[in-house]
């Protein structure tokens, strides 16, 4: 591909234009993904257990493991309140076993990480004058981004593989 910029400043402003565009693309994508994410994870829809279902799950869990009985007795695991909808292990696993949901959640993860980290670098860049400091912080931000992306994808892919 031919390069449309002639000097170093041109290359810098081109990189900034790419970041600008990425923030728009990931931002619009995130609005759609987050509406879905919030609907599925926080609203009383079929993806959450209702109070009766959740207390039934706790009963099965405590029959299976004495550790769960202790955890419930200690209040580390609490029964559902009347009318409460709870996100549960089995419901999440059930959803994430489908490849489509895996793809959706990985895309959400990558979009959120990219948008968040580009935004963070933009904010930090406003308060750093020294070039060397900027470069170091930028490198650190990208390292954290890659690390978190790897961890997140690893967890999502591992669901239903055991």
Partner 1 sequence: MNQNKLPGDSGTTPSFRTFLSTVFSYRVRPGMAAWILHRVTGLSLVLYLVIHIKGLHSLDNHLAFETYITGYRNPLFKFAEVMLLGAVAFHAFNGLRIFLQDMYFRSERQKPLFYAVLALTIIVTIIGGLPIIFPYFITPLLP
Angle at 129 between CA 124 and CA 135, to 5 degrees: 65
Residue 151 near residue 87, CB atoms below 8 Å: no
Q: Where does residue 161 rank: exposed (0-12), middle (13-18), buried (19+ CB within 10 A)?
A: exposed
Determine the Cα–Cα distance for residues 65 and 60; give it in Å rounded to an integer. Answer: 9
Does 92 contact partner 1 by CB under 8 A? Answer: yes
Shortest separation between residue 97's beta carbon and partner 1, angstroms? 12
Sequence-distant (6+) residues with CB within 8 A of 96 are 102, 105, 156, 159, 160
Count, residues near partner 1 per rule CB under 8 A: 48
Using the minimum distance from each CB to partner 1, give the nearer residue, 2 or 75.
75
CA distance 160 to 156: 9
Instruction: Name the one range near partner 1 by CB under 8 A: 4-12, 84-92, 131-139.
Output: 84-92
Gap between the Cα atoms of 133 and 117, Å rounded: 17
Among 22, 110, 119, 138, binds partner 1 (CB under 8 A): 119
Residue 29 binding partner 1, by CB under 8 A: no
Question: Rounded to the nearest whole angstrom, what is the least distance from the CB of residue 2 to partner 1 in the complex?
Answer: 27
Identify which of residues 120 and 134 has a Cβ nearer to partner 1 in the complex.
Answer: 120
Residues contributing to the site for partner 1 (CB under 8 A): 24, 27-28, 30-31, 34, 38, 42-44, 51, 58, 61, 65, 67-68, 71, 76-78, 81-90, 92-93, 109, 112-113, 116-117, 119-120, 123, 144, 148, 151-152, 155-156, 158-159
């Amino acid at each position: 591909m031919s390069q449309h910029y002639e000097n170093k400043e041109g290359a810098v402003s081109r990189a900034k234009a790419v970041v600008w565009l990425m923030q728009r693309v990931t931002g619009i994508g995130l609005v759609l993904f987050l509406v879905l994410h919030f609907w599925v994870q926080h609203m009383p829809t079929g993806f959450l257990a209702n109070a009766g279902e959740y207390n039934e799950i706790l009963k099965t869990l405590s029959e299976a493991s004495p550790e769960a009985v202790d955890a419930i007795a200690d209040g580390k695991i609490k029964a559902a309140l009347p009318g409460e909808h709870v996100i549960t292990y089995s419901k999440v696993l059930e959803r994430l076993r489908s490849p489509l949901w895996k793809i959706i959640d990985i895309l959400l993860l990558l979009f959120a990480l990219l948008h968040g980290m580009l935004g963070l670098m933009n904010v930090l860049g406003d308060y750093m004058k020294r070039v060397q400091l900027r470069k170091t912080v930028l490198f650190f931000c990208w390292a954290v981004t890659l690390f978190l992306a790897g961890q997140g994808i690893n967890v999502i892919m591992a669901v239903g593989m055991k």
